[in-house]
Amino acid sequence: MSDLSTKATALLTMHDEFVVLPTAWDAWSARTLVDAGFAAITIGSHPLAESRGQEDGEGMTLDDAMEGIARIVASVDVPVSADVESGYGAEPAELIERLLEAGAVGLNVEDTVHGEGRMREAQEHADYVAGLRAAADAAGVDVVINARTDAFARPELHGGDPLEQAILRMELAEQAGARSLYPVKPPTPEALAAILARVSLPVNVTAHPVKGSVVGQLDEIRASGARRVTFGPLLQASLTESIQELVQPWR
């Protein structure tokens, strides 16, 4: 566990300032990103599922996801954080055990339980985060839990005001032991600013590598107060367009 602990601490320390954690989906993309100079990477569930011919939204099983994560982690020698959706039905202790066995030292966990077609209640999700924190602490690894809410993305699943729900869920996740917070798809810069004003943990913004984010490009993201950037499925999607352009003349 010593190596895992060292990597987890290194990943967490990167959040002290501002960190871009580009999103990989296989060994090739992971090695490419590390060779480009990134000191840590993330694995996205959506692009990972695409690479396996499966569906995002828990179309993968826990075994599927962990097999893919382990292959990617083994291909690089930097800290890796992995998107585990809502946990694939695993209890927090099992999820942390499997994550560490795969070699990852961070995780995204969301409040939409796709397999059940519902969103966890705010406190229910916080309790799941707290369980992950307790299991990681028991293992002696400060796993960087990036607590995600789909309050903006899936308002029909909670029935409340999206901004109020996002703030509530991020505040509870912070109290539960998350190390960073991920309010997916804030509709405006003002919505993101409202969350940043209520929490003290680093907040994750999704960006397209060319088009940027809801608050703009890299400099604007820095200026917003957000401290973590990931690409989600957008890097893979942008490469899809580039590949199509490259091969089009050969048809």
What tens digit of pLDDT does each residue of 210-243 get?
999 999 999 999 999 999 999 999 999 999 999 9
CA-CA distance, 198 to 149, in Å (whole number)? 15
Domain count, the chain: 1
CA-CA distance, 107 to 101, in Å (whole number)? 13
Domain CATH number, residue 45: 3.20.20.60
CA-CA distance, 105 to 11, in Å (whole number)? 8
Residues 13-54: tens digit of each pLDDT: 999 999 999 999 999 999 999 999 999 999 999 999 999 999
Tell me the whole-structure pTM to 2 decimals.
0.96
How many other C-beta atoms lie within 10 A of the C-beta of residue 242?
10
**Type and span of the H or E element at 205:** strand 204-206
Strand partners, 80: 41
Amino acid identity of residue 75, one-letter, is S
Range of the domain at 45: 2-250
- Asked whether 118 and 157 are in contact (CB, 8 A), the reply is yes
